[in-house]
Amino acid sequence: MSETSFVEQTKTFFQELDVPMVQKPLVFDSLSSTNAKAKELAQQGAQEGTVILSRTQEQGRGRFDRTWTSPEGGIYFSIILRPTCKPEQATLLTFVGALAVWKTIDDFCDLAPSIKWPNDVRIRDKKVSGVLLESESDSAGMKYVVLGIGINLNMDIDVLSKSFHATSLSYELGINLDYYRFLKEVLTNLHSYYAHFTLGDHAWLLQEWKLHSDTFGKKVRVESSAKTIEGIASDVDESGFLLVTTKTGEVKKVTSGDCIYFG
């Protein structure tokens, strides 16, 4: 697809889109990272619901400074949110993003997607989507949250990052999916899960996330820069932090890290 046609077609898509959460879409043919751009705009005061979407990203960012390979055919966008919540509650927005993608895949295709703590949407144990939450807060609460979503929609798997055990929906299905139909569903689902969040329906969101996660009961190793914790993933707390029961029976809370299934 040519540069102009993607940008023009996507602007038309947004003009016709009726998802109240999406207030001000900005569309690019190529960006370094939609999250980086969204952060810049959020710091300049951009309103809640500003969406930055790009056809490709040159330096797509994953968690823990990884690269999110972002060739043509994938969905890459970030949305600026200004929730009135405590910083520890904002972590649940990762679940909001993962659930929106999970539900869209589940509605579109018979692929039994699942969610690995905290934000990987996977098909047959391979990652098809990730969510990157970046935020700023002060003593008064959250200043902004940038929720970035990357989905490997229509692409060969050999172009995908080797640092993730990755797949794409088109590879798993053997056909390409309609970019705009899929994007519309993701944004619609995001709107609906975010509405639960803003209404304070956090227990419901956690339940919903638990229902679709395959992490519980798994033997996990969670690696962060500070430490590595091993044990059985037993639950998540009200902020979405993972509770791991170690072999001594102690329950440890993991606030962030890379979760690996083993054993």
- Site residues for ligand BTN per CB under 6 A: 33-35, 57, 60-63, 66, 68, 76-78, 119-120, 130-132, 148-150
**Residues pairing with 146 in the sheet:** 80, 134
Q: Which is nearer to ligand BTN, 7 or 232 (CB)?
A: 7
Q: Which is nearer to ligand BTN, 68 or 179 (CB)?
A: 68
Instruction: Verify cis geometry, omega within 30 degrees of 0, for the bond prior to 118.
Output: yes
Distance CA 10, CA 4 (A): 10
Residue 29's nearest CA partner among 67, 66, 56, 50 is 56
Q: Which is nearer to ligand BTN, 83 or 118 (CB)?
A: 118
* Cβ 157 vs Cβ 91: under 8 Å: no
Residue 82's nearest CA partner among 19, 148, 24, 143 is 143
* Cβ 79 vs Cβ 146: under 8 Å: yes
Q: Which is nearer to ligand BTN, 66 or 210 (CB)?
A: 66
Cβ-proximal residue to ligand BTN, closest one: 130
Q: How many Cβ atoms sit within 10 Å of the Cβ of residue 149?
A: 25
- Residue 44 has, within 13 A of its CA and on its CB side, a CA count of 8
Min. distance of Cβ 246 from ligand BTN in angstroms? 26
Min. distance of Cβ 61 from ligand BTN in angstroms? 4
Q: Which is nearer to ligand BTN, 150 or 231 (CB)?
A: 150
* Cβ 92 vs Cβ 202: under 8 Å: yes
Q: Which is nearer to ligand BTN, 86 or 165 (CB)?
A: 165
Residue spans of alpha helices (H) in the chain: 3-16, 34-43, 87-90, 92-108, 169-173, 179-198, 202-212
